[in-house]
Homo-oligomer: A and B are copies of this chain.
Amino acid sequence: MVTKNELKYIRRLNNKSERIKNNQFVVEGEKSIKDFLSSDYKLKKLFSTHPEDFNLYEITEKISSSQLKQISFLKSPNKHLGLFEIKNKELKKDSQYILIDSINDPGNLGTIIRSAEWFGFKQIICSKNSVDCYNPKVVQASMGSLSRVDIIYTDLIEFIKNEKIPIYGTSKDGKSILEFSNNINTGLWIFGSEANGISNDISELCESFYSIPKSNKDILTESLNLSTSVSLIIGYLKFFNRS
């Protein structure tokens, strides 16, 4: 039997401080839970309206649909809700990095994680003030990719200063990415928030800035969605630059 206290506890995991205190986060839906089960994340407890889908009875609590509704962070709750343990992640040395400065929107971070996996990145480096990757909306938007892409929170300035590879900023005033003619496989690519761009102290460390060109100068929209921009730049670096 699931207790009222357990239901309350799960709701509290919407807050970062509660997730850190308890070292747990929520994953919902059969597909995402299976993705995390196949990774090195550890399932602590499963709340499920259909326990037979998983066959993990020792750690499963059967719950009713109305109880699932109470604890779910989704609009349409999806049969299963798993509590996973937050894992320790270590930065892996690489020749190409995605760095995100001060990202707030959880849906954007989740979508970036999904695109990053698609284009072969195994980690994303975020500034410490960025939204937590275990926020339920990030987990949801990543559609399982969070189980395979590590999000590393660190002091971006320290990180950049310790790297010897070229440092590229993205900015609406930057050169067109189509003009990028350096080695496309090496570099540290920094993206700022939609509202403020890359912070000044980090901008100072960039050797050059790039942007995604508009169809023509008269187009009035001022920026793309952040996850769209990241996807277009890394997609371009990985695939579309065939010249």
A residues lining the B interface (CB < 8 Å): 35, 107, 111, 114-115, 117-120, 141, 143-145, 148, 178, 212-216, 219-221, 223-225, 227-228, 231-232, 235-236, 238-243
Closest 8 CB pairs of A and B: A120-B215, A240-B240, A117-B221, A228-B231, A111-B225, A145-B221, A119-B215, A232-B235
Give every chain B residue within 8 A of A119 (Cβ-Cβ).
Answer: 214-215
A178 to B239, CA, bound (A): 8
- Copies of this chain in the oligomer: 2
* A232 (CB) vs chain B CBs: closest residue: B235
The chain B residue with its CB closest to the CB of A225 is B111
Would B120 and A219 count as touching, CB distance under 8 A? yes
- The 21 sampled A-B contact pairs (Cβ below 8 Å) are A35-B220, A111-B228, A114-B221, A114-B225, A114-B228, A118-B214, A118-B224, A119-B214, A119-B215, A141-B225, A143-B223, A145-B221, A148-B220, A178-B240, A178-B242, A212-B235, A213-B239, A224-B231, A228-B231, A232-B235, A235-B235
